[in-house]
């Protein structure tokens, strides 16, 4: 029998990304699937590698290495809570929405948080979440932070409220 298709989860280091990772790992455990954690980056969003110095821009490989190192540091303790789930880390160079869409081409599910590190507080969903919901080739799960999450007033009213 073929291995189940993986679950891809976007991770930018935000609280929302950590919640999405936990949800992805939990689902992967139930489905006996692999989890691919993806953190897209650019020179402007990557931390400075140790080879950086004033007037010298290190090669892209140095930036990618530090991005992967930071991602591993953040993911490893959470992944340890799900030891039976195989986890791989991917750090493609490019815009987050585009890279998540590419990574999800053969995925069972793409998991993202409602918002990431950038953008504006109070938005219901961030731009990357909106992009992947609109264009992903697989199902998308957008993980909310919780009831205390700062969000705008709801635009769609419920038909009725049930009190029981």
- Closest of 102, 103, 83 to residue 7, by C-alpha: 103
Instruction: Decide the pairing of beta strands 35-38 and 87-90.
Output: parallel
Q: Is 32 left (phi over 0), alpha (psi -120 to 50) or beta?
A: left
In this structure, the dihedral spanned by the alpha carbons of residues 151, 154, 158 and 161, taken in order and rounded to 10 degrees, is: 50
Site of tokens 């953040």: 74
pLDDT at 30 exceeding the cut of 70: yes
pLDDT, tens only, 49-99: 999 899 988 999 999 999 999 999 999 999 999 999 999 999 999 999 999
Is pLDDT of 29 > 80? yes
140 membership: H or E segment, kind and range: strand 139-143
Tell me, yes or no, if the pTM score tops 0.85: no
Residue 152 confidence class, pLDDT cut points 50, 70, 90: very low
**Second-level CATH architecture of 7-143:** 3-Layer(aba) Sandwich (3.40)
Q: What is the mean pLDDT of the chain?
A: 85
How large is the average pLDDT for residues 8-27? 94
Query: Taking the domains of the chain in order of start, what are their residue ranges?
Result: 7-143
pLDDT greater than 50 at residue 123:
no
Q: Does the pLDDT value for residue 1 go beyond 60? A: no
Q: What is the pLDDT of residue 160?
A: 52
């Amino acid at each position: 029998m073929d291995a189940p298709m993986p679950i891809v989860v976007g991770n930018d280091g935000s609280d929302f990304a950590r919640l999405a990772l936990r949800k992805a790992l939990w689902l992967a455990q139930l489905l006996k699937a692999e989890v691919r954690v993806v953190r897209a980056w650019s020179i402007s969003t990557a931390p400075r590698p140790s080879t950086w110095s004033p007037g010298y821009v290190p090669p892209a490989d140095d930036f990618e290495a530090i991005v992967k190192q930071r991602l591993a540091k953040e993911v490893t303790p959470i992944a340890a809570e799900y030891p039976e789930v195989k986890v791989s880390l991917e750090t493609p160079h490019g815009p987050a929405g585009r890279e998540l869409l590419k990574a999800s081409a053969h995925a069972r599910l793409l998991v993202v948080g409602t918002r990431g590190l950038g953008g504006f507080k109070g938005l219901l969903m961030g731009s990357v979440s909106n992009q992947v919901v609109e264009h992903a080739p697989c199902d998308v799960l957008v993980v909310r932070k919780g009831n205390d999450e700062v969000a705008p007033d709801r635009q769609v009213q419920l038909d009725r409220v049930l009190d029981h």
